[in-house]
Structure 1
Amino acid sequence: MHDLRTTVTLLLTVWLKMFPSLFKNVDSVLAILEKHVHFDEVKELLRIYEAQKLLYKGPYKKEKLFIVLEGLDGSGKSTLAKILTAKLKGTMRTSPPQCLTRLRAFFDGQEPPLRRAFYSLGNYVLSYEAASELETRHVIVDRFWHSTASYAIAENDTVGGPYDWPEDLLKPDVVFFLAVSERIRAERMRYRVLTGEEGRLKDDSLFRERLYNAFMAMRNPGVMKIDGDLTVNKVTVNIMDVLKAKYNIAFS
Structure 2
Amino acid sequence: MPYFIVLEGLDGVGKSTLARRLASECGYQLMTTPGTQLLPIRSDIINGLGNSQTARALFYAATVQAEGEKARGFNKQGKTVVMDRYRASTIAYAFERGVTIDLNAMLSQAIKPHLSILLTLDEADRQHRLKQRGTTAEDIETLNSEFRDGVISRLKSMCDIELDLTGADENEAVLLVRQCINRHLILNR
TM bin (shorter chain): 0.7 to 0.9
Counterpart-to-counterpart distance in 2, 1:64 and 1:126: 16
Q: Choose which of 201, 211, 233 in structure 1 pairs with 2:142.
A: 201
Tell me which residue corresponds to 1:15: none
Say how many residue pairs are matched.
Answer: 177
> Structure 1's 64 and 181: CA in aligned 2 closer, same or farther, altered over 3 A?
same
Q: Show the counterpart of 1:78.
A: 16
SS of corresponding position for 2:112: coil
The higher radius of gyration belongs to 1
1:179–1:212 Cα change, 3 Å: same
- Name the amino acid aligned to 2:24: A
Give a deviation string over 1:86-125, Cα, whole Å, max 9, x none: 2321110011001212431133222101111111101111
Equivalent residue for 2:7? 69
**What's the Cα RMSD here?**
1.9
Aligned to 1:212: 152
Equivalent pair of 2:115/2:185 in contact (CA under 8 Å): no
One-letter amino acid of the structure 1 residue matched with residue 156 of structure 2: M
Equivalent residue letter for 2:4: F
In 2, Cα distance between equivalents of 1:103 and 1:86: 25
Q: Indicate the residue corresponding to 1:96 in structure 2.
A: 34
Residues in 1 aligned to 2:34 and 2:176: alpha-carbon distance in whole angstroms: 27
Q: Which residue of structure 2 aligns with residue 125 of structure 1?
A: 66
Q: TM-score, normalised by structure 1?
A: 0.65
Distance in 2, matches of 1:139 and 1:173, equals 10
By relative contact order (CA 8 Å, sep 6+), the higher-ranking structure is: 2
SS of 1:191's equivalent in the other structure is: helix
Which consecutive residues of structure 2, in runs of 5 or more, have no partner in the other structure?
99-103
Query: Where does 1:155-166 land on structure 2 (aligned, <5 Å)?
Result: 155-156=97-98, 166=107
Of residues 164, 174, 177, the one that matches 1:227 is: 164
Mapped partners of 1:178, 1:243: distance in 2: 13
Q: Distance in 2 between matches of 1:76 and 1:232?
A: 8
2:93 maps to which residue? 151
